[in-house]
Structure 1
Amino acid sequence: QLNADVVYNEAVFGKNMTSIKRTTVSTPITKLIPYGANGSTIAVVNNGKPYIVDDEANQKYNPDWQAGLYYEAIVTANQISNSAGLKSWAQDMLKLYNHPRTYYEVNVTPNFNPPLGATIRFKDELI
């Protein structure tokens, strides 16, 4: 929340932005196996299953969905010991990873120094 309301100057490629790199992760996660403190699972609050799935995303992105296959991942939250809390957290995590994602890595000039948490608009006027 620190400086979340601050909109800092734009970073413009060729002026105060020196490079930009785009990476796309095209394989989403459609089955998530969460572990909590001391290796606890969500099985007791999830009908005996230690995992959660997103069938809609699986059908959309996984060509092998009809064979019952999922794109699986494991997440660990060592601070969560309550199974219901772990399941709720895992459901939030699955929403973050159940679709293709694009990440941007940007390098700026040394004099471009926004405060921590500020919103920054990046622009490439050469495209």
Structure 2
Amino acid sequence: EAYTRVLMGNIDLSRLVFPPNTAGGTVESFARRALWDIGLNYGHGTGHGIGNFLSVHEWPVGFQSNNVPLAAGMFTSIEPGYYRDGEFGIRIEDVALVVEAQTKEKPFLTFEVVSLVPYDRNLIDLSLLSPEQVR
């Protein structure tokens, strides 16, 4: 169940449509909600900017409260997780590009996942996923 709920958080944040000038800290809870529903949480950041020459965790993009607003063209990781002390740890990390969302009204933003890493289907409990998450 923990793997599926971490995956749900990854999917929920990856599919989110949000207004321009939204800070990452404002939307970060979407990645935690599925875990929060059953009283679980994780103690690390949900994501960070992706660097090339500076570092792997590149400021100022990310999901902490002190990061800059997300804008089209920014790359970030989306990496919810869960760790049970002394037993196991799960982190599902994707790299995503902030892009313009196709909306009927005003321009909004969303994420386009650009990493090509498969999920472990044996660990996914499909009964927990919504139809939107399965897509």
Q: Relative contact order, CA 8 A, sep 6+: which one is greater?
A: 1
Query: TM exceeds 0.5?
Result: no
Pick the structure with greater CA Rg: 1
TM-score (norm 1): 0.25
TM-score (norm 2): 0.24
